[in-house]
Amino acid sequence: MIQPEDISRKALAIYREYLRAWVQGDGQYFPRRVPAQRDPGPDVVTAIDQVRRLREGSKEVLGYGYSVEWKEVQSRRHGKNLFPSKVLFATELDLLRVIGKEREFRRFTEAVTRLRAEFPELDSWVRSNIGVFTDAAPDLDGLVEVLRYFKEHPRPNLFARELPLSVDSKFIERHERLLAQWLDVIVPPHEVRADEDHFARRYGLRYHEPDIFVRFLDPAVQAELGIPYEALAVPLHTMGGWTIRNVRAMIVENRVNLMTLPKCTRTVAIGGLGNGASLLRYVSWLQHARVCYWGDLDSEGIVILSRVRSIYPATESLFMDCATLDLFRHLAGQGSGRRPPGPPANLTPSEAEAFRICDEEGLRLEQERIPQAAVVEAFAHRLGARHDAPMSSSLVASKRQV
């Protein structure tokens, strides 16, 4: 037979269901029946005690909580006695008091009412995310203040701590996941970078940007920008704001390799991005540059090449094909063991075959293992070649010298 503690556990499930019903405007939810096992069992003494406990915990005795409808039963085992035929919550208050949710429910309903009044476009979200909204309700004042600000000032180009809000500077950071879902609805679509998951970049906040390592391989380009240093690290959008024309951009992962690249006419080397290479979409001058990528020759490096090419389709590659793998396979080691979910797109046939070999055999030919003589040769003869251009005879010679 169901007991008071069983009813309390079931009441929590009913409460979660009632929140959804309340949001949907169901005014006929109560009375609500509690699924119950009413069989008193074979033991007479136990059955009598269970009936007593059930009655003592009921609204009939306490003045609130679950109600029990009793039915007189005549049985050979128990004689004539009253046993529960139905257990139910007659009213909303009865349910809330049993589980101690009166305050939480009041806060929830007030929050829903307020949010709907100011941002009716979020009603559909609330209906689909009851649990999330219940947890967020205590912070609704701050959340509404943030929503209101971004609706009136989309893409503010300020740090979060600079926003004229009463919430602390960590508030937005703590609620980024929820705010992102709401801002996607509240802020005009053209003010949201839909291709960006990073919160600050998606909604136009400033943030501590990654520093991009840059080296000028041509002093003329350096002079045009008025930069006194051949190599420097600059914030992403600072580099993105440069005005450079008629240049080649050489993207290199390893910084030592970048620092030892030979001088090259109208060339800027960019390094140290790793999986952050997709950030290069914010560098507008690359749209008009001749882009070349050189990373580790392994499955992960070729995936990065694919990502760069998804942004700049004409990107050439250096040392990322089967010819390189054939020449320097004796210098390759074991990769990380992490396998991509599938072959990447945007590859030439030779790059795709190199990916297959590296992925299946777990190979990694690190950039710094490529002989410097081969690098100099490639810069002299290959940067203007097609992606699948064969390795020159002098590079074959450089292999023999290693």
Compute the distance between CA of residue 36 and CA of residue 144 in angstroms, rounded to an integer.
42
Compute the distance between CA of residue 190 and CA of residue 154 in angstroms, rounded to an integer.
10
pLDDT in tens, the chain (402 residues): 888 999 999 999 999 999 999 999 988 999 999 987 766 666 667 878 888 899 999 999 999 999 999 887 766 565 567 778 899 999 999 999 999 999 999 999 999 999 999 999 999 999 999 999 999 999 999 999 999 999 999 999 999 999 999 998 899 999 999 999 999 999 999 999 998 999 999 999 999 888 899 999 999 999 999 999 999 999 998 999 999 999 999 999 888 999 999 999 999 999 978 778 888 999 999 999 999 999 999 999 999 999 999 999 999 999 999 999 999 999 999 877 777 777 899 999 999 999 999 999 999 999 999 999 999 988 888 664 333 434 443 343 333 333
Structure tokens at 209: 């940007």
Compute the distance between CA of residue 67 and CA of residue 125 in angstroms, rounded to an integer.
35
Compute the distance between CA of residue 272 and CA of residue 253 in angstroms, rounded to an integer.
5
The CATH number given to 211-401 is 3.40.1360
- Rounded to a whole number of angstroms, the distance between the first and last alpha carbons of the chain is 83
Cross-strand pairs, 364: 333
- Could you tell me where in the chain the CATH 3.40.1360 domains are found? 211-401
pTM of model > 0.85: no
DSSP SS3 for 35 = coil
